[in-house]
Structure 1
């Protein structure tokens, strides 16, 4: 402080002793000068700072005048800075951009390093510092302008890019983007057999680039003339950056559409073609129009399949895209132990963080478990399906046998048409073949049984030809065993029984695969399946036996003459001579046992106690003029979600439900709706969702809860299309970005090209920086049809 404060002599030599100290030699109060050496250590005894002169810290004495830094100088000199520590002025521009050597001014470091603190003739000094147009200060000012304008930075100045070159760069980059979009929409490879980042093979990308340029003269010129040799924009890194830009724009629109709405999480995992464990993530929510939307977000590569690893991957994903876990209201998995485990499963880990994320076991998977359990528990059904698979494998083993099967089926159809057994018409009697049953999709067994029954004579002919004309004894033995099995009454009986049972459950299985399916419709279909199975058990025996008998007569299959005849029990030694009647065996031990086991499993998996919340939600169903409406159950739902409904909301909901059901009941447009989904859309269209906000919030909860993981399974199927044997070196990021663009085509096709280009430009520094266009004139899909 002593550097710039001048001490004035005092009239008396005594120091300041109290707050009211004054000089003794003058009637006027003298200026109280500050002496840092005499500063009292005890802060309670110090003289208040306001007793000193207000400008004492900033003033300097020049002759008889005191001067200090004037803040008004900031308005006249935008480069000016002031250091209170040094009581000096500095130039920010010279500090940042002053070169080491620049003419005669190169050695003047007063305003850049030392600081200027002579407050006399300040204005003229500042003017002199600015100097003329060639001064060091103005050189630094030019550098500052280049720094503030990225499009005119140093690299741009050195490269001397003209405006024409920038236009050419935009045209070329847009052409590259169009090709990237085309390959993404078609799910095609970019670099042929090697999609790794180190690959130098351009593959499909380069071929399309030349084809594209050849079709458009303007782009052809750009490709040939205006692109520098090291700026062709065809490197795999550029391609992957553009793909990532496309995928991120798709994800951003999905996240923007979700907003602060509640949503559900659906997860499934599978191995891709390169034997990497991938976790597919799909979000389900209700949009602003009241429609149920399921959107694929990404696939995450997980090093192991433990529940903690899956939970960590989901947490990282939610944090990356700003999805709050507190808004999660539902979980849907396929029932794997690491997913639905009661203690350490993914379901339990999420419930610890958010107890309102209700778990719903995939309905379609539960239905498959019922059929699979039937095959495993009953040896006679398991034996039947094993022989069906052997028949399909034998008949479909070679092209020659497939051709023989088609020819035999064609001849049988012609013969039956000539006899008038079947009629002709458009779409009738189409050429077909046996459908191979899927290992994880038991619904496919239904179509295998249908085609086996329809093509029975042709199948018997092919199997017989294999036995008669085969050169391999092993195949002849297999064919003989299959003929013996197929000509048994028992095999035909199981064939018709499983056709009937799978026909009932297959309708529910197919309906559960729909994206717009909701809880109430699923519960209705489950109840319908239970009713049909019970009806089949009570009244279906006679019809089934009649159909089996008719089929056996038409195909010369031996059947019991009298159902009351005795039959030795299968699976027991003949010496024990345990026998029963044909009627008791096929009706009680087979027909009743199969149906009882299926209905027992249906009641176990879809019981009222396990789906209490879903049963309450069904009270919102508008069918039959809201016949299921129950205000007590709906209020119970509110009690399960205190996060969404406050205590005041619960009180208000009772009155709102009364007005709601009165309004809906008298309005035909609402009471005639077929599902809760249609009701939600109608409420939004008529803006009644604003009139009944609490009821609409209940409807959102009902629609958000997932009932099937069909959308996730579609993603897993698409994984095998995008990542094939030839593309098994794809990096994980490139793989998931390609999947997003392929699956969410409806969003991808609507993204403006300019948004993608700007995201691409901001990812890293490029040789040319494109300025945003004033208006969006280039929509996705480009002006040239691919």
Structure 2
């Protein structure tokens, strides 16, 4: 027997007879192989570094490292798109798509720059790719919370103002945005976009609860609020049950001061909706402009007629020629969010009235548009012409204020003075402007061959007016009292309501702290009045 077999054989002890068959030549090889395998397993068992826990731990560390690399790429992609204000999702995000949307395309760009990232993404399990829309939203929410926390630290214990606006998103959900305005520790005014909320409805109490919940979440005390701004939707502008009134109950110093140019927009909008004849006039104006300007053929016909008209007027000496004069323009459409565009629309129709009338007549003669006859009839009606010239006259005054309030260099005192001037001009127009308006209407009707009614004749209404009242109302009375005076009164009432004296006084006293020209407008008396009248709890008698 060989020496390498004799030694283990001597260790068998009492089992020698039973196991002697193993020490044949073939059996020795088999025992030697099994023995070595057992020894290796025993060494592995005795060595902790080769244990199953160590192997799994090593594998787990590698998985953690790969997962972190994928997650970092996802975080950087979200950070990049959020910083640029870009949308994440694509119309077609399948692998076969040539454009999978910004987020996935950014991930592809990262993979092209890093072979290691490309490896871990290709080998990633299906539940750990970190690219799903749910993961994107979670990452955005985490980043948003970090930004809001930083804003909260920046505010500190300083007073702040809130700015709130609401709108419908593409899915039809009501969304409100919250912006905080404050003075930071460096003494600089800052406005920070803070939060977007989805709300079930836009009642005042619902908005109050949702905004308070956000403020409380970040330990912003309502008692530190010193100003409010809203878009003045119908549910917000109420004096007693509006949103700003609810906050005033908790903090009497959260004064409401609305953006002056936007407030004027709302004033004119409320006037148009509150006076039925004016609302009907704007509907008709929109119909006329859209009909003529929505078709390229009708648009070209109007420009051609206008060009011929300008040529004839210049030849007759009624128009002067100079650089930039007598441009061939077209009718202007009004924009719902820019009231000054309504004035441009009115002004363009007054200027192009003759060209528009002739264009519609040509359509009727050529029988190319069946709707043209009804449009022309409305255009030639006296009530439409009266409202056209009336609104043109009124909006010349208010448009000057609107343009003035949008100047970047305008201060509060100037804005308030312009508002007061506008009120004065409208009051003077109400008292003395009717005669001039009637003369303009008569001249306009004569110029464009329109029927001018007998102003002393009885007025017959088709809008449901009391029949007994119709018998005693003349046309002159209707246009003077029921239309002209009502419009001006409504306009003045809205201006007085929206530009309150309290807000005006607050702005005037606050303007003394204007730092321009080394606080040139600073007045100690105004500072004292501001503190005593509007913020008595924030200052002592000293």
Q: Does the alignment reach a TM-score above 0.5?
A: yes
Structure 1: 5+ residue stretches without partners: 1-102, 107-132, 144-152, 652-786
The residue number in structure 2 matching 1:321 is 218
Q: Which one of the candidate residues 194, 198, 203 is aligned to 1:297?
A: 194
Q: Does 1:158 find its partner at 2:60?
A: yes
> 8 Å contact 2:256–2:503 — kept in the other structure?
no
User: Is 1:478 equivalent to 2:374 in the alignment?
Assistant: yes
Which sections of structure 2, spanning at least 5 residues, go unmatched?
1-41, 462-466
Paired with 2:395 and 2:73, the residues of 1 have a C-alpha distance of 53
User: Which residue does the alignment assign to 1:16?
Assistant: none
Of the three residues 78, 89, 92, the one matched with 1:190 is 89
Does residue 556 of the first structure (1) align with residue 453 of the second (2)?
no
Query: What's 1:395 paired with?
Result: 292
Query: What per-residue deviation string (whole Å, max 9, x for no partner) do you get for residues 650-690 of structure 1?
Result: 32xxxxxxxxxxxxxxxxxxxxxxxxxxxxxxxxxxxxxxx
SS of equivalent to 1:279: strand
- Tell me whether 1:435 sits opposite 2:333 in the alignment: yes
Displacement of 1:493 after TM fit? 4.2
Counterparts in 2 of 1:290 and 1:551: CA distance versus 1, 3 Å: farther
Q: 2:421 maps to which residue? A: 528
Q: Is the 8 A contact 1:520 1:621 kept in 2?
A: no
1:264 matched residue in structure 2 = 161
Distance 2:415 2:395 in 1: 18
Residues 329/158 of structure 1: CA separation in 2 closer, same or farther (3 Å cut): same
Q: Does structure 1 conserve the Cα–Cα contact (< 8 Å) formed by 2:181 and 2:192?
A: yes
TM-score of the superposed pair, with normalisation by structure 1: 0.50
Return the offset for 1:333: 2.7
**Partner secondary structure for residue 256 of structure 2:** strand
Does the Cα contact within 8 Å between 2:510 and 2:530 map onto a contact in 1? no
Pair 1:570 & 2:459 matched:
yes
Which of 502, 505, 511 does residue 395 from structure 2 map onto?
Answer: 502
Change (3 A) 1:251 1:548: farther
Q: Which residue of 2 aligns with 1:631?
A: 525
Residue of structure 2 in register with 1:20 after alignment: none
Matches within 5 A, 1:580-599: 594-599=487-492
Instruction: Deviation per CA, 1:143-192: give whole Å up to 9, x if none.
Output: 9xxxxxxxxx98676344899x89x948x955983586358636445232
Q: Is the contact made by 1:294 and 1:515 (CA closer than 8 Å) also made in structure 2?
A: no
Select the structure that is richer in helix. 2
Tell me if the contact between 1:468 and 1:476 (Cα under 8 Å) persists in the aligned partners: no
How far did residue 263 of structure 1 move? 1.4
Give the aligned CA root-mean-square deviation in angstroms.
5.0
Shift of 1:256: 4.0
Q: For residues 356-402 of structure 1, what are the alpha-carbon distances to aligned partners after superposition, in whole Å with 9 as ceiling and x for unaligned?
A: 22234564565345434544554543443232123124324544434
- Secondary structure (helix, strand or coil) at the match of 1:459 reads helix
Using a 3 Å threshold, how does the CA distance of structure 1 residues 571 and 552 change in structure 2: closer, same or farther? Answer: closer
SS of 2:459's partner is coil
Q: Which residue of 2 aligns with 1:56?
A: none
Q: CA offset at residue 225 of structure 1?
A: 4.7
Give the Cα–Cα distance (whole angstroms) in 1 for the partners of residues 515 and 489 of structure 2. Answer: 33
Structure 1 distance, partners of 2:315, 2:58, is: 83
Q: What aligned pairs does 1:248-397 form with structure 2 within 5 A after superposition?
A: 248-287=145-184, 292-336=189-233, 338-341=235-238, 344-360=241-257, 363-364=260-261, 366-376=263-273, 378-397=275-294
- On the 8 A contact 1:443/1:509 being kept in 2, the answer is yes
Query: Is contact 1:264–1:331 with CA below 8 Å preserved after alignment?
Result: yes
Deviations along 1:570-616, one digit per CA (max 9) or x if unpaired, are 336899586577xx887777656643543344334435367554454
Query: Using a 3 Å threshold, how does the CA distance of structure 1 residues 441 and 568 change in structure 2: closer, same or farther?
Result: farther
2:512–2:522 Cα contact (<8 Å) kept: yes
Asked if the contact 2:167–2:176 (Cα under 8 Å) also holds between the matched residues in 1, the reply is yes
| Selected match of 1:177 from 51, 61, 76 | 76
> In structure 2, the residue corresponding to 1:568 is in which secondary structure?
coil
Aligned equivalent of 1:444, options 322, 325, 341: 341
- The answer as to whether partners of 1:505 and 1:529 remain within 8 angstroms in 2 is yes
Q: Take 2:145 and 2:255, find their aligned partners in 1: how far apart are those partners? A: 29
1:552–1:558 CA contact under 8 A, matched in 2:
yes
Alpha-carbon spacing, 1:208–1:408, altered in 2? closer, same or farther (3 Å):
farther
Closer, same or farther: CA 597–233 of 1 in aligned 2, 3 Å: closer
Task: Give the corresponding residue for 2:535.
Answer: 641
- Aligned equivalents of 2:172 and 2:488: distance in 1? 40
User: More relative contact order in 1 or in 2 (CA 8 Å, sep 6+)?
Assistant: 1
Structure 1: how far apart are the matches of 2:521 and 2:486? 36
Give a deviation string over 1:40-97, Cα, whole Å, max 9, x none.
xxxxxxxxxxxxxxxxxxxxxxxxxxxxxxxxxxxxxxxxxxxxxxxxxxxxxxxxxx
User: Secondary structure of the equivalent of 2:364?
Assistant: helix
Contact (CA 8 Å) 2:423, 2:492: kept in 1 or not? Answer: yes
- Alignment length (residue pairs): 485
TM-score for both structures, normalised by structure 2 = 0.69
Please tell me whether the aligned partners of residues 549 and 559 of structure 1 are also in contact (alpha carbons under 8 angstroms): no
Partner of residue 356, structure 2: 459
Return the alpha-carbon distance in structure 2 between the equivalents of residues 549 and 238 of structure 1: 70
Q: Distance in 2 between matches of 1:409 and 1:241?
A: 59
Residues 757-776 of structure 1 mapped to structure 2, 5 A cutoff = none
Tell me what 1:229 maps to.
123
Q: Deviations over 1:686-707 (max 9, x none)?
A: xxxxxxxxxxxxxxxxxxxxxx
Does the Cα contact within 8 Å between 1:370 and 1:601 map onto a contact in 2? yes
Q: Structure 1 residues 383, 513: CA separation in 2 closer, same or farther (over 3 Å shift)?
A: same
In structure 1, C-alpha distance between the alignment counterparts of 2:305 and 2:143, rounded to whole Å: 52
> Does the 8 Å CA contact 1:286/1:293 hold for their aligned counterparts?
yes
Work out whether residues 302 and 330 of structure 2, in 8 Å CA contact, stay in contact via their aligned partners in 1: no
**Greater CA deviation, 245-254 or 585-594?**
585-594
Q: Deviations over 1:418-443 (max 9, x none)?
A: 777354646983755431352x6544
Residue number in structure 2 paired with 1:602: 495
Q: CA deviation at 1:528?
A: 2.8
Paired residue secondary structure (2:80):
helix
Q: 1:591 to 1:345 in 2, by over 3 A?
A: closer
Task: Give 1:459 deviation, angstroms.
Answer: 2.5
Q: Secondary structure at the match of 1:567?
A: coil
